[in-house]
Amino acid sequence: MATTVTHLKAQLGDDAPVSRATRDAPWVRWSLTAVALLFLAGFLLLPLAAVFTEALRKGLGVYFCALIDADALAAIRLTLLAAAISVPANVVFGVAAAWAITKFHFRGKNVLITLIDLPFAVSPVISGLIYVLVFGLQGWMGQYMNAEHPWLPWFQQWLVGQDFKIIFAVPGIVLATTFVTFPFVARELIPLMQAQGSDEEYAAVTLGASGWQIFRRVTLPNIKWGLFYGVILCNARAMGEFGAVSVVSGHIRGETNTIPLHVEILYNEYNFTAAFAMASLLALLAIFTLVLKSVIEWRYALSHKS
Amino acid sequence: MKLKSLLSLLAAVALTGTALAKDIELLNVSYDPTRELYVDYNAAFAKYWQAKTGDTVTVKQSHGGSGKQARSVIDGLQADVVTLALAADVDALYENAKLLPKDWQKRLPNNSAPYTSTIVFLVRKGNPQNIKDWDDLVKSGVTIVTPNPKTSGGARWNYLAAWGYALKKYGGDDKAKEFVGKLYKNVPVLDSGARGATTTFVQRGIGDVAISWENEAYLAVKEFGADKFEIVVPSVSILAEPTVSVVDKVVKKKGTEAVAKAYLDYLYSDAGQEIAARNFYRPRNAGILAKYSANFAKLDLFTIDDVFGGWTKAQKTHFADGGIFDEIYLKK
């Protein structure tokens, strides 16, 4: 008893109060850490290592050959294109939605928040199927194009004459990708902006700033790191999406296959080395994303301290 | 100045070049196991077409379960030609979207099936379960890999082959239903396509036997080595006729009618038949079939028209919602 008290006193003197209640026995701490590490190794590191060993099984030459194959390059290009369109679109939408939701009061706000979450709630396959049902030949658009007495006949004629394709083509893939990555930026910003409140914006208003000035010089600098964080998560999902894109792709080699779809095709063709080589690109993207995420979190913490 | 004139000369050459030889792009929407066949065939056809007309033709490929692929074409996938696993899936293009005429199957020789195949068994080396014929599949303790007849064409051929065998051996639809029911009790997973089922069997090591297209079984043995897998040919099987057709509505819109038709006609040429045989599809041409006879075991083959009265009827009785397959599989 007495020793405990002196011990505690010594600790208190060091400005670090520690009681037995806040400290677990060493075996508990060690076994918890071990379980966490084992899980990490089994579920994350092992598959990751498997991807790279399989990809490099036949040597670096074969690995790079698999990556510069024409169909592989087309898949990489399409994946980059889909991300390049959907990520900026979701940034604009996400910032606008978060700004509206956190800085203003209006009716139907909760409905809007729920709608933003919708893509998280539905299965990606359903997200893809929605576009087939809307834009497919048997869907709404197809029915309209084939209708005998259409609503707005000139629009029908123009549409038929255009010959532009949505599903089973690049626009469908971009749409599906945008849909599934829709919530990432908004969901990242809303809690952050709610926590920050509107005081600084009010101050800016009293100083005579215009709406755009407030956004650019007050809001944006405040949400900068949260926004970056949302963007990289959004990008990672955009490049890795399989289900929704698979439904609308049509699987045309060298034309409508993204990296994840191309991996499946190569695997099904018994071309395992090439399949894993493509998969390793996605794995590298994931690692790069994680590193970037850590850097941003670190910078964010730093900017908060100051 | 000199550079400018050189550039304009190049531009002129490029322009006339495009005016002389056209670049044509076709899309062939096919089923799962034909990937390798059409990679070979597309290269040969491009060469043939360039020699004949001077045009460069690139054929893009799309593969998946036959039923699923037909569904995509119905929903608007712009296929110039379809080369699907069975006639019923091409019929669906007429029934659901009127993309081609009703009598499409009469437009090409041999019921529009330029090559055929049959259904055989793929077993692990040494055939540990001693599987010789269909009867060995319904024994308890044997696990079978076969894809889902709802989405896969090959799976429907598998099912009908088993049914036809039981009909022949035991007589009567009731007996056949009982036999096929017992067989599906031994199936632990139904993949959506033939290739998925093969991968399940060879890569994931599930099952004692895979019921498979003959060509698919040969390809697996070729890819993974005869020291790992063996092919067992049953006494009786079905003559599987994968059918091909031009998709009239699409080629009319794209203006690719002539080249799409030539693409399918060339499948019947000696060169086309030879490529099919090399990829383990049974060619229609008797001479070429004889040349590759070592690859194609002789067995008793029945046709779908003889035993089931054609695809439309078989599809309705067995595979439609509430059909016999649903009864058998749901009862499990």
Residue B121's pLDDT is 97
Q: Please, which residues have CB within 8 angstroms of residue B86's CB and are 6 or more apart in sequence?
A: B66, B153, B156, B157, B240, B241, B242, B243, B311
Residue B5's pLDDT is 56
Chain A residue with CA closest to B222: the answer is A270
Report chain B residues whose CB lies below 8 A from the CB of A252. Answer: 27, 60-62, 77
Chain A residue with CA closest to B203: the answer is A270
Q: Examine the domain organization and report whether A47 and A163 are in the same domain.
A: no
Report chain A residues whose CB lies below 8 A from the CB of B250. Answer: none
Q: Examine the domain organization and report whether A107 and A213 are in the same domain.
A: yes
Three-state SS string over chain B comes to: CHHHHHHHHHHHHHHHHHHHCCEEEEEEEECHHHHHHHHHHHHHHHHHHHHHHCCEEEEEEECCCHHHHHHHHHCCCCCCEEEECCHHHHHHHHHHHCCCCCCHHHCCHHHHCCEEEEEEEEEECCCCCCCCCHHHHHCCCCCEECCCCCCCHHHHHHHHHHHHHHHHHHCCHHHHHHHHHHHHHCCCCCCCCHHHHHHHHHCCCCCCEEEEEHHHHHHHHHHHCCCCEEEECCCEEEEECCEEEECHHHHHHHCCHHHHHHHHHHHHCHHHHHHHHHCCCEECCHHHHHHCHHHCCCCEEECHHHHHCCHHHHHHHHHCCCCHHHHHHHHC
Residue B50's pLDDT is 96
B79 to chain A, closest Cα gap in Å: 10
Task: Determine, yes or no, domain membership for A1.
Answer: no
Task: Determine, yes or no, domain membership for A173.
Answer: yes
Domains in chain B (CATH in brackets) are 2-113+241-295 (3.40.190.10), 117-240+299-331 (3.40.190.10)
Q: Examine the domain organization and report whether A46 and A170 are in the same domain.
A: no
Q: Examine the domain organization and report whether A30 and A135 are in the same domain.
A: no
Task: Determine, yes or no, domain membership for A219.
Answer: yes
Q: Examine the domain organization and report whether A148 and A245 are in the same domain.
A: yes
Residue B129's pLDDT is 93
Question: Which among A139, A254, A270 has the least Cβ separation from residue B60?
Answer: A254
Task: Determine, yes or no, domain membership for A12.
Answer: no
Q: Examine the domain organization and report whether A30 and A112 are in the same domain.
A: no
A291 to chain B, closest Cα gap in Å: 34
A67 to chain B, closest Cα gap in Å: 19
In CATH, what number is assigned to the domain containing residue A131?
1.10.3720.10
Q: Inter-chain contact A138–B75, Cβ cutoff 8 Å?
A: yes
Q: Inter-chain contact B63–A270, Cβ cutoff 8 Å?
A: no
How many A×B Cβ pairs under 8 Å?
Answer: 54
For an interface test with B, the pick among A252, A262, A263, A265 (most B C-beta atoms closer than 10 Å) comes out as A252
Q: Examine the domain organization and report whether A51 and A104 are in the same domain.
A: no
Q: Which residues of chain B have pLDDT under 50?
A: 1, 9-10, 12-19
Q: What is the extent of the structural domain holding A35?
A: 24-55
Residue A154's pLDDT is 83
A128 to chain B, closest Cα gap in Å: 13
Chain A residue with CA closest to B221: the answer is A270
Q: Examine the domain organization and report whether A51 and A144 are in the same domain.
A: no
Question: Which among B77, B96, B253 has the least Cβ separation from residue A250?
Answer: B77
Report chain B residues whose CB lies below 8 A from the CB of A135. Answer: 76
Q: Examine the domain organization and report whether A42 and A65 are in the same domain.
A: no
Chain A residue with CA closest to B63: the answer is A251
CA of A71: how far to CAs of A170, A175, A187, A277, in Å?
Answer: 15, 22, 35, 13
- Boundary (domain end) residue, out of A10, A37, A55: A55
Report chain A residues whose CB lies below 8 A from the CB of B97. Answer: 137-138
Task: Determine, yes or no, domain membership for A3.
Answer: no
- Boundary (domain end) residue, out of A5, A34, A55: A55
Task: Determine, yes or no, domain membership for A269.
Answer: yes
Question: Which among A132, A252, A267 has the least Cβ separation from residue B75?
Answer: A132
Q: Inter-chain contact A136–B253, Cβ cutoff 8 Å?
A: no
Q: Examine the domain organization and report whether A120 and A32 are in the same domain.
A: no
Q: Examine the domain organization and report whether A40 and A140 are in the same domain.
A: no
Q: Judge contact between A259 and A267, C-beta under 8 A.
A: no
A238 to chain B, closest Cα gap in Å: 23
| Per-residue pLDDT tens listing for chain A (306 residues) | 444 444 544 444 445 555 556 678 888 989 999 999 999 999 888 989 999 999 999 999 999 999 999 999 999 999 999 999 999 999 999 999 999 999 888 998 999 999 999 999 999 999 999 999 999 988 888 888 777 777 788 888 887 777 778 899 999 999 999 999 999 999 999 999 999 988 999 999 999 999 899 999 999 999 988 999 999 999 999 999 999 999 999 999 999 999 999 999 998 888 889 999 999 999 998 888 889 888 888 888 887 776
Residue B192's pLDDT is 85
For an interface test with B, the pick among A54, A137, A245, A264 (most B C-beta atoms closer than 10 Å) comes out as A137
Task: Determine, yes or no, domain membership for A203.
Answer: yes
Task: Determine, yes or no, domain membership for A7.
Answer: no
- Boundary (domain end) residue, out of A39, A55, A71: A55
Cα torsion A123, A124, A130, A133 to 10°: value is: -100
Domains contained in chain A, number: 2
Chain B residue with CA closest to A251: the answer is B62
Q: Examine the domain organization and report whether A300 and A258 are in the same domain.
A: yes
Q: Inter-chain contact A168–B32, Cβ cutoff 8 Å?
A: no
Q: Inter-chain contact A268–B72, Cβ cutoff 8 Å?
A: no
